[in-house]
Structure 1
Amino acid sequence: MECVFGLVGNGFAIVVADTSAVHSILVHKSNEDKIMLLDSHKLIAASGEPGDRVQFTEYIQKNVALYQFRNGIPLTTPAAANFTRGELATALRKNPYFVNVLLAGYDKETGPSLYYIDYIATMHKVDKGAFGYGSYFSLAMMDRHYHSGMTVEEAIDLVDKCIMEIRSRLVVAPPNFVIKIVDKEGARQHAWRESVKDAPVPAA
């Protein structure tokens, strides 16, 4: 029941992901951060098989850092998205990753951007996108309320509407979500939306 979605506003991009780590009918934890910082101005949010998701996003993160270390300049957001798509395409015919990715970033020349990359290496630059069962409802809400040039406050309000819709419509809805934003100031965590907290581990 994973839910990952994002949108581009006026000078920023926002990415949101649920924080549930589940297997079959079991919930292992409810504070799993599925949005990784690629560098100071890029975020990658992923859904899919947990092992593939963690391994692939860490692989992309380290290669983006390696490029900057070798060349002295960071990859642009389109370049990072094309590199990610290329790695998924290469793996597709060998040992494919079951991972869907939303990659958001901010570049001085072009501003914010959001890239939709699915597990069969399809890539599109989008204004709004979503993966998982929650995409049915978050995309519907964004189709109705999204407009180009949204302020941060308007975008967060829309994100909250999407989260409320997911929680009210899905039979098994993820309780917690993490919201991260990237703009000219950099990539950072904006907020958590929690309805359940992990119980403290009892002392032995």
Structure 2
Amino acid sequence: MECVFGMVGDGFAVVAADTSAVHSILVHKTDEDKVMLLDSHKLLGASGEGGDRVQFTEYIQKNMHLYQFRNGIPLTTAAAANFTRGELATALRKNPYFVNILLAGYDKDIGPSLYYIDYIATLHKIDKGAFGYGSYFSLSMMDRHYHPGMSVEEAIDLVDNIIAEIRSRLVIAPPNFVIKIVDQDGARVYGWRESIKDVDIPKA
């Protein structure tokens, strides 16, 4: 019952994701951060099989760091999206990754941008998007309430409404979400929306 969604506002992009790590009918943890900080001005929200998601997103992150180390400049958001899409396309013909990605970033001369990259290496630049079962509700709500040039407060209010809708409508809803934002000041955690917390079980 994963959900990753994001949108572009006035001078920023926001990405939110559930934080549940599940397998079959088991919940392993409820504080899994599925929105990675790729570099100082890029976010990568991912959904899919746990192993594929972690392995592929870390691979992308480390290669972007390597590029910046070798060349002295970071990749632009568009270049990072195309690199990610290329790696998924290459893997698709060998050992495919089942991972869907929303890549958000901020570039000095371009501003904020958001890219949709699915597991079969489709790439689109978008204003709003979502993956997972929660996308049935998040996409419809963004179609109704999203508008270009949203302020941070408007966007976060919409994110909170989407989270509330997912929690009330999905039969097995993820309880916790993480929200991250990227703008001219960089990529960072905006906040967590938690309804339950993992509890340490005392050892016998």
Distance 1:164 1:154 in 2: 15
**Alignment of 1:115 onto 2:115:** yes
State the AA in 2 paired with 1:130.
A
Return the letter of the residue paired with 2:93: R
User: Which residue of structure 2 aligns with residue 10 of structure 1?
Assistant: 10
Alignment-mate amino acid for residue 112 of structure 1: P
Corresponding residue number in structure 1 for 2:144: 144
Distance 2:135 2:91 in 1: 25
- Is 1:186 matched up with 2:186? yes
**1:94 counterpart SS class:** coil
Identical pairs, percent = 83
Residue type of the alignment partner of 1:41? H
Partner Cα distance (2:201, 2:176) in 1: 19
1:1-204, aligned counterparts within 5 Å?
A: 1-203=1-203
How far the C-alpha of 1:203 sits from its partner, in A, is 4.4
Structure 1-normalised TM-score? 0.99
Where do 5+ consecutive residues of structure 1 fail to align?
none
State the distance in 2 between where 1:95 and 1:174 align. 29
| Aligned residues: CA RMSD | 0.6
How many angstroms does 1:152 deviate by? Answer: 0.2
Shift of 1:200: 2.1
Post-superposition CA distance 1:22-68 (Å, at most 9, x none): 00000000000001110000000100000000000000000000000
3-state secondary structure, aligned to 2:175: coil
2-side partners of 1:64 and 1:43: how far apart?
12
Q: What is the Cα deviation at residue 201 of structure 1?
A: 3.5
Residue identity matched to 2:51: G
- Count of aligned positions: 204
- Give unpaired runs (5+ residues) of structure 2: none
CA distance in 2, matches of 1:9, 1:202: 45
The whole-number CA distance in structure 2 between the counterparts of 1:192 and 1:201 is 23
